[in-house]
Amino acid sequence: MNDDFLHRLRREPPPGFLAELKAKLDRQSAPARPRRLSFSRGLVVGLLLATTAFAVTSLSINSAPKSLHAFLAAPVELVARMSSSPSQSEDRQLHGPVPLGPAWLPTHVAPQPQGDALEANPPASATAVPAPPIPEEAKSSSTQPAATPTGYEILDVIATASAFPHAQTVADHFGKNFGQLRVSSDMNGTALNSLCNPDSKGNPSVAELYHRLTPAELRTCPLKLTEFAVGHQAIVLARGRLYGPLRLSARALFLALARQVPMPMPTDPTQLIDNPNTTWNQVDSTLPYDRIHVFGPELGWVQEKLAAALLLEAGCDTYPWIAELRTSDPARYDRICKTVRSDGAYEGNAAGGWALSDNLVHDPTTLGIYTLSEFARSEDQLVANLIDGVEPTPETIVAGTYPAARTLYLYVNRRYWGNSLFDRLLAAYLLPLNLYGSDPAGWGFIALDAAERAEVQATLKRYSDFRY
Amino acid sequence: MFVQQAVPGRSMDQLSAEELDTRGAWDVLYADLAPRVYNYFRYRLGSEADVEDLTSRTFEKAWRSRASYRRDLAGFSTWLFKIAQNVGVDYRAARRSHLPLEAALDVATEGTPERHAELRSDLARLAALTAGLPARERELIALKYGASLNNRLIAELTGLSESNVGTVLHRLVKTLRTQWYGDVSTLDE
């Protein structure tokens, strides 16, 4: 294979840059590698500690224990204090008194600005609530596309932030072939308003949203819109096979992983506090007494933002007062429902899903976030945890029963029926080849299956027949 | 193996995280992998802009989290390039969301003297030729020719089978070669 022309493009990096980077790395001290005890060594150490604790505690009891249970529980509590890891010791110093029960405590950091929240101001809830009227300022919002240049026709697509990479990938493919498509990102949640405003010529013809519009929302739109599903986004929360899958509820996930959670009863549950939960049994008494520790994409990365939205939103919406914020105060809703904690319970892993498998096998109470395809590659080592009793499978994702999944929808102004550009755009969206899924940016994306695609094509045909 | 063998009989790519901390091993790895990562980003982005920044980000992330690297799971280079891929994804996603709408109209500026000069840059020409390809195929080109990885490692990084990587690359190179030399003749006219 004559590929010299490709090899010739290689170039050595500037020596100054290499030296500078090397010096920078050398200056950074290596993080302490967690020591792993072998099973036999761990067993011996554990037995010694338990024996010592039992003896010391038994001797130190001044009065007779009130019950056998109290007599046995005392050494166990002492062992729990003594067996904390080095990192736990650091936390102990930070937090003063050593807690019995969860030995690890989170270190809260100052909240980060939320300007880059995954969905900045989603247009409406998935539940049936009346949508607000279209504000005047929407007509001059930053989501409005530039004026159409004369000479050729351009289709404008507006996409919500998490749907934008998918829309852009389709546009890349479409644009290289036809060159007449513009995609803009809806940064202020006015995609629906932009699409439905009939007064401006510069408004988009198509909107790609991460949720389905409610009948109430559709009623606010003076235009006739047609809806198409274009794909799904889903993630899997997995762990090693040793203890089998956890049966998590969406609310437990929210309480375990959100940066801020409602104060527990009987205090005011409408007040938020930094997430104090450290073990799974604190968020759901049926779950084991294991440390909440979840590996996922690095904090701040697009994948992490998607994972946070998929993992937290369903549980967040179980609090009615928070669910209402979706329409009344979308920015606050995003801060609560799409922001994962950064105190150590959630740990970013730069190498991504597959690189986690070994860590999860060695630490079987730790959970890892995977895409469906990443998980399939590690399925011999891992199990998928159930959320609200539902297992993540292509069937449950398509059916919409798996909470950590959602469908991307395309909304189209019907006046574009019969426009050849528009027909090509839809064809690009419905390509059986999963262009976006094979793009690393398409992390978590699942293309429509054959039945769903057939359904969309049937809708297309129905409108085409009507047209002609 | 593509990494020098500083430890006789053993590839540097198979060193444990503890061994990575030894000065000699790290120096050898860095000298081998830094140019590969650098060129991976050049090929993937099709330009020189931000390549140094992305290379730095990749090594800093890898260096900070090298304690979590497990040699029984993947070679060090596979692990490093997985990080590079994620850094690239994040970069492109962030950049896309800030592109002005007018950027999409740039396709209409072909034929200007500036555009012609830009095309004379081989890297920009490659970017222009691969721009219409799906992202997965652009990734394969960058991993194969920018990072100089073999098909087995590329398969690990992309989730494709090794034979599929070979087939897709063969088809890609054939198409690109035709366009490349055709492109040269057009420019030289």
CB of A349 closer than 8 Å to CB of A355 = yes
pLDDT at B18: 62
pLDDT at A225: 84
Complex ipTM, two decimals? 0.77
Mean pLDDT across chain B: 73
Element (H, E) at B125: helix B122-130
CA distance A386 to A360: 17
Mutate to test the interface with A, among B68, B120, B138, B141 (most CBs of A within 10 A): B68
| Yes or no, beta carbons of B64 and A302 under 8 Å apart | no
Mean pLDDT in residue range A348-353: 74
Q: Which residues of A touch B43 (CB under 8 A)?
A: 9
Please give the residue that has the higher pLDDT: either B122 or A147: B122
Mean pLDDT in residue range A35-54: 55
- How many other CB atoms are found less than 10 A from the CB of residue A150? 6
CA distance B58 to B45: 15
pLDDT tens-place string over residues A277-313: 999 999 999 999 999 999 998 888 878 888 999 999 9
Q: Which residues of B touch A433 (CB under 8 A)?
A: 134
Q: State residue A265 phi and psi, 5-degree precision.
A: -65, 155
| Yes or no, beta carbons of A302 and B83 under 8 Å apart | no
pLDDT at B55: 93
A355 CA to chain B: closest CA distance, Å?
A: 7
Say yes or no to pLDDT of A102 above 80.
Answer: no
Give a three-class secondary structure readout of chain A: CCCHHHHCCCCCCCHHHHHHHHHHHHHCCCCCCCCCCCHHHHHHHHHHHHHHHHHHHHHHCCCCCCCHHHHHHHHHHHHHHHCCCHHHHHHHHHHCCCCCCCCCCCCCCCCCCCCCCCCCCCCCCCCCCCCCCCCHHHHHCCCCCCCCCCCCCCEEEEEECCCHHHHHHHHHHHHHHHCCEEEEEECCCCHHHHHHCCCCCCCCCEEEECCCCCHHHHHHCCCCEEEEEEEEEECEEEEECCCCCCEECHHHHHHHHECEEECCCCCCCCCEEECCCCEHHHHCCCCCCCECCEEECCCCCHHHHHHHHHHHHHHHCCCHHHHHHHHHCHHHHHHHHCCECCCCCEEECCCCHHHHHHHHHHCCCCEEEECHHHHHHCCCCEEECEECCECCCHHHHHHCCCCCEEEEEEEEEHHHCCCHHHHHHHHHHCCCCCCCCCCHHHCCEECCCHHHHHHHHHHHHHHHHHHC
| Yes or no, beta carbons of A6 and B173 under 8 Å apart | yes
Assess whether the previous peptide bond of A132 is cis (omega < 30° from 0): no
Q: Is A366 on the interface with B (CB under 8 A)?
A: no
- Give A97's pLDDT tier (boundaries 50, 70, 90): very low
HSE (CB half, 13 Å, CA atoms) of A127?
A: 12
Q: Which residues of B touch A440 (CB under 8 A)?
A: 85-86, 88-89, 135, 139
pLDDT at B3: 44
Give me the total of CB pairs closer than 8 Å, taking one residue from chain A and one from chain B. Answer: 176
pLDDT at A281: 93
Share of chain A above pLDDT 90, in %: 23
CA distance A233 to A442: 9
CA distance B124 to B130: 10
- Give A452's pLDDT tier (boundaries 50, 70, 90): confident
| Yes or no, beta carbons of A373 and B159 under 8 Å apart | yes
B168 CA to chain A: closest CA distance, Å?
A: 13
CA distance B45 to B126: 10
Query: Which residue in the set B63, B69, B86 is minimally distant from A301, CB to CB?
Result: B86
| Yes or no, beta carbons of A441 and B67 under 8 Å apart | no
Mean pLDDT across chain A: 72
Q: Which range, A49-58, A237-246, B83-92, is most confident?
A: A237-246
Parallel, antiparallel, or unpaired: how do β-strands A272-274 and A294-296 relate? unpaired
Query: Which residue in the set B69, B174, B180 is minimally distant from A5, CB to CB?
Result: B180
Lowest mean pLDDT among A239-243, A333-337, B176-180: B176-180
Share of chain A above pLDDT 70, in %: 64
Query: Which residue in the set B59, B123, B173 is minimally distant from A3, CB to CB?
Result: B173
Nearest Cα neighbor of A353 from A316, A292, A304, A394 is A304
Q: Which residues contact A189 (CB under 8 A, 6 or more apart)?
A: A119, A120, A121, A122, A123, A160, A330
CA distance B40 to B139: 9
Computed from CA positions of residues A311, A313, A316, A318, in that sequence, does the dihedral angle turn out positive or negative? negative
Query: Which residue in the set B38, B83, B177 is minimally distant from A13, CB to CB?
Result: B38
Residue of A nearest to B147 (CA): A10
Query: Which residue in the set B17, B82, B108 is minimally distant from A33, CB to CB?
Result: B17
Residue of B nearest to A437 (CA): B136
pLDDT at A293: 94
| Yes or no, beta carbons of A349 and B55 under 8 Å apart | no
Say yes or no to pLDDT of A200 above 90.
Answer: no
| Yes or no, beta carbons of A30 and B141 under 8 Å apart | no
pLDDT tens-place string over residues A134-146: 333 333 333 333 3
Nearest Cα neighbor of A298 from B95, B189, B68, B5 is B68
| Yes or no, beta carbons of A352 and B86 under 8 Å apart | yes
Q: Which residues of A touch B17 (CB under 8 A)?
A: 33
HSE (CB half, 13 Å, CA atoms) of A35?
A: 8
Query: Which residue in the set A164, A173, A359 is minimally distant from B134, CB to CB?
Result: A173
Q: Which residues, given as ranges, of chain B have pLDDT below 50?
A: 1-10, 97-111, 115-116, 119, 185-189
CB of B55 closer than 8 Å to CB of B83 = no
Say yes or no to pLDDT of A92 above 50.
Answer: no
Lowest mean pLDDT among A39-43, A111-115, A289-293, B109-113: A111-115
Q: Is A438 on the interface with B (CB under 8 A)?
A: yes
pLDDT at A199: 62
Nearest Cα neighbor of A353 from A231, A238, A233, A437 is A238
CA distance A347 to A349: 7
Give a three-class secondary structure readout of B2-13: CCCCCECCECHH
Residue of B nearest to A443 (CA): B89
Q: Is A439 on the interface with B (CB under 8 A)?
A: yes
Q: Which residues of A touch B18 (CB under 8 A)?
A: 33
pLDDT tens-place string over residues A165-188: 778 777 776 665 555 667 777 766
CA distance B155 to B140: 9
Q: Which residues of B touch A428 (CB under 8 A)?
A: none
> Which two tokens mark A416?
């574009």
What pTM was computed for the model?
A: 0.61
β-sheet bridge partners, residue A294: A346, A367
Residue of B nearest to A15 (CA): B35
- How many other CB atoms are found less than 10 A from the CB of residue B159? 14
CB of B79 closer than 8 Å to CB of A355 = yes
Q: Which range, A37-46, A119-128, B63-72, is most confident?
A: B63-72
pLDDT at A327: 79
AA letter at A227: E
CA distance B108 to B96: 19
- Give A34's pLDDT tier (boundaries 50, 70, 90): very low
> Which two tokens mark B145?
């020719």
CA distance B20 to B12: 9
Q: Which residues of B touch A442 (CB under 8 A)?
A: 135
Lowest mean pLDDT among A50-64, A298-312, A354-368, B135-149: A50-64
- A:34-73 residues touching chain B, CB 8 A cutoff: 34
Q: Which residues of B touch A351 (CB under 8 A)?
A: 65, 68-69, 79, 82-83, 86
Give the distance from CA A286 to its chain's centroid.
Answer: 24
